[in-house]
Every structure is written in C-alpha cells, then in structure tokens.
Amino acid sequence: MIKEAIVLAGGLGTRLREVIKDVPKPMADINGKPFLEYVLRLLDKQSIEKVVLSVGYRYEFIMDYFGDKFSNIRLIYSIEDEPLGTGGAIKKAIRLIDEDEIFIFNGDTFFQVDLFKFYEFHSSKTSRLSIALKMVNITDRYGIVKIDKNNRITAFLEKKEKQDGLINGGIYLMNKDFFLSFNLPDKFSFEQDFLEKYYKDYEFYGFPFDSYFIDIGVPEDYDKAKYQWNQIVF
C-alpha cells in the first residue's frame, strides 16, 4: 500500500475571501478546526505516513499550525513563491516523493474514499493515472467525467446546468515517473493541461465512490460543510 501523498493546499480562496478573510482556503474554519485538519485525519486513519503539503498563499498559517507532524504523518512543505497552478504545484511537490506511485489530494475537498480499494483498482488496471469519481445530482459547478465499461476515461465534458453525472472528486493516484516523463512547464493546470490533454493518448481510469464528498470552494458549500460534518465517520 502507498504511504505517501501530496495535498494541494496553495489555493487563494478568492471566492471565499469574504467569509474566511485573510487565511489560506484549506485553513477555513469548520467547527473549530481548519478544513485541512480533517483531510489529514482521513489520511492518517488510512495509514499514510508522509504528506507533502503544496502551499503558497499565506503558507505561514499552515506551517505554524501543523508544524512538521500531524498524528502519525510526517509533513514536508513544498512552497510556491508564485502561483504555479495545480499542475505546476504537483510538478514541484512530486520531487519530494520517494515512492513510485503517489496519492494526490485537493486541500479544499473532502472525499471519504477508501484508499486501499482505490489502490487495488489502480493496480488491477495497470493504470498510470486514476481518478476517484463521485456521482452527483447536479453538476452545474463541475464538468462531467465519462468512463466506459472497463472504467477507462473516455471524455471530460464542460459544465452544464442541472445534469447528473460523475465528477472529478479531486483525488488522484498517479505513477511518478510517468508524470515526470512529460516536458511540462513550471506553471499549468493539471486538470486542463494534463488530464484533458492526454487522456486520449494514454489509458486513464476512473473509479466511482459512493461516499461523502464536499468541496468548500464557494461560500454556499463552505456553510454546508459546517452543518453536514456529523456525516463524517472516522
């Protein structure tokens, strides 16, 4: 089982600024604790031993709060001097990873995925990149991910009003050397410039999970997270 992960925690949180003021988005308060703490708690429960926190905007808040250890997890920081996009952040952080395969998480998304099942799926497909997917009723905030009967990703569709479908749940399992084999720029979007660009040329897979999912990217869902937190079972 994989013991290392990257958590992307460098978001500016522009849409949440009026609610969380001047702190990094993953440090948004959820019932007295920063959102990122719940993400790390989920990883700790599933035996992740090392997390590279990719940080940027006001990263001192994160470092001062967590230090170099959270429960049984050793924390290492990959600091962006300027915004690199999700892809650039992964490119920089992944060089601090020792293992061949790596979990990647969005620091503003909580998705209660069974990482062992996800790893088993990834290995069974001999996949170089797998995405945890979530079925939602209305995807107007998200694009839809299409998969075939073998779970290979066949399309990334644009956001549409009131359409049911599978969405990208913000958790990835990827082969390190595969990612580093591309001549990638220092600044780019992992979603648009990597996933959507290369899924036709390489076999990327999606694994749907029917478990709790929340993305605090907008004030409405941030408020929802506070009231729904009793659904979380650790």
* Average pLDDT rounded to a whole number, residues 223-232: 71
Query: How many contiguous H segments (helices) and E segments (strands) does the chain have?
Result: 9, 14
Structural domains of the chain in order of their starting residue, each with its CATH number = 4-226 (3.90.550.10)
Quick one: angle between helices 35-45 and 59-66, nearest 10? 50
pLDDT tens by residue, 139-181: 567 889 999 999 999 999 877 656 788 999 999 999 999 999 9
pLDDT of 221 > 80? The answer is no
d(CA 37, CA 91): 24
- Coil, strand or helix: which one is 93? helix
pLDDT tens by residue, 100-138: 999 999 998 999 999 999 999 999 999 999 999 999 886
pLDDT recorded at residue 186: 96
Compute the residue count for the chain.
Answer: 234
pLDDT tens by residue, 46-97: 999 999 999 998 899 999 999 999 999 999 999 999 999 999 999 999 999 9
d(CA 89, CA 80): 7
Q: Which residues contact 8 (CB under 8 A, 6 or more apart)?
A: 54, 86, 89, 90, 93, 104, 105, 106, 107
pLDDT tens by residue, 5-60: 999 998 665 555 555 567 788 888 888 889 999 999 999 999 999 999 999 988 99
* Strand ranges (E), the chain: 4-9, 29-30, 33-34, 50-55, 69-70, 73-79, 101-106, 109-111, 129-136, 144-147, 153-157, 165-175, 204-208, 213-215
> Pairing mode, if any, of strands 50-55 and 33-34?
unpaired
